[in-house]
Amino acid sequence: MQVSDHMSTTAPLEAKAPAGRRADRLRGGPTLAFSQPLPFSIQIRNGLSLLLLFAAIAWFWQPLVSLFSLTQQQEQYSHIVLIPGLSLYVLYLDRKAIFASREWSPWLGSLLIGLGAWGYWSADAAIFAPDQLSMTVLAFVMMCWGIALSCFGFTTCRRVSFGLLCLLFMVPLPSFFLEAIVGFLQRTSTEATAALFSLLGIPVFRQGFVFSLSNFTIHVAEECSGIRSALSLLITSVVAGHFFLRSIGTKLGLVAVVIPLAIVKNAFRIVGLALLANYVDPTFITNSLWHRSGGIPLFVLTVVVLLSIVWLLRRLEKRWVHPQLDDRTRS
């Protein structure tokens, strides 16, 4: 009797804990209070999420139209029109898990929705119009995150976080940050161009950003910094890393490779146009069509190089980071 009394009075609290929490501890996962059980049907939740999303789009309609106009006026932002489709595609791949979720995070989601609304109303305080648009689009992205958290819960949103984070590529860069990046790319592209001229043995006189050849003089202006292709390569590397790589280290390494790759690509473009203008026809530089579209073949070639690096990193992961994957493939 004493043993049974002792067992009854000292029964572990684990037995009194909810089954869900015990299962979480057995799985080794943390018990998070961010999410709550869904108090209504999944169908109502799915309809509510679409209604809130359409309401957010309607509220931000004018800034979104301005964002689309910006993509047509400034080439470095031409990629923005593809970002919503990219985000939707990534989320579509996990659509079953998203729409089958039986939890929601109304308080955390409401906080982000409130921050998005505050960002929308405070964007007028920005000094420059591009910065105002950046703040407004960032507010829209935060509101989309808040809607997702409110309707589908923290756990589900963490699982599909990449598709949600892709929306950040919609936000135009702040003016001070854009100027710093353009200046860096302009300087490094100029240095790489000078090194390439020297490597090819082509006589050229350099003065700052100006290169004087025998029959033609070329100026590496800010428009020649390669910011457009650099941003496109950056997004390509992030997406490729998500789909084909597993380790955070290899993903970061792939993104780091983009910077020197974009600089070298831009140097080859500048040298190629300069030689064509000097020895063939100056319209290769003065003609805007050649100037703008002449780098497309080089960009395609750079993407091929980038994907080759992805393949090498993937092989490295299988052999060193995740050797069990290589063993499984061989068997």
Which of these three, 114, 139, 164, is where a domain ends?
164
If asked whether residues 211 and 316 sit together in one domain, one would say: yes
Give the pLDDT of residue 146: 95
Residue 284 has pLDDT above 90, yes or no: no
**Does residue 75 lie in a domain region?**
yes
* Model pLDDT for residues 5-18, shown as the tens digit of each residue: 444 433 343 344 44
| Residue 277 banded pLDDT, cuts 50, 70, 90 | confident
Closest CA to 234 of 273, 271, 185, 164: 185
* Model pLDDT for residues 176-206, shown as the tens digit of each residue: 888 999 999 999 999 999 999 999 888 888 8
If asked whether residues 128 and 190 sit together in one domain, one would say: no
Q: How many domains is the chain partitioned into structurally?
A: 2
Mean pLDDT of all residues belonging to the chain: 82
> What torsion, rounded to 10 degrees, do the Cα atoms 193, 197, 199, 205 define?
-110
More confident call, 279 vs 172:
172
Domain span at 100? 36-164
Which of these three, 101, 134, 164, is where a domain ends?
164
- In the numeric block, the tokens 């009075």 are attached to 9
**Does residue 239 lie in a domain region?**
yes
If asked whether residues 134 and 221 sit together in one domain, one would say: no
Residues 28-34 have a mean pLDDT of 50
**Does residue 209 lie in a domain region?**
yes
If asked whether residues 68 and 192 sit together in one domain, one would say: no
**Does residue 240 lie in a domain region?**
yes
If asked whether residues 200 and 288 sit together in one domain, one would say: yes
Give the pLDDT of residue 288: 56
Gap between the Cα atoms of 172 and 240, Å rounded: 22
**Does residue 298 lie in a domain region?**
yes
* Model pLDDT for residues 37-63, shown as the tens digit of each residue: 888 888 898 899 999 999 999 999 999
Which of these three, 164, 187, 202, is where a domain ends?
164
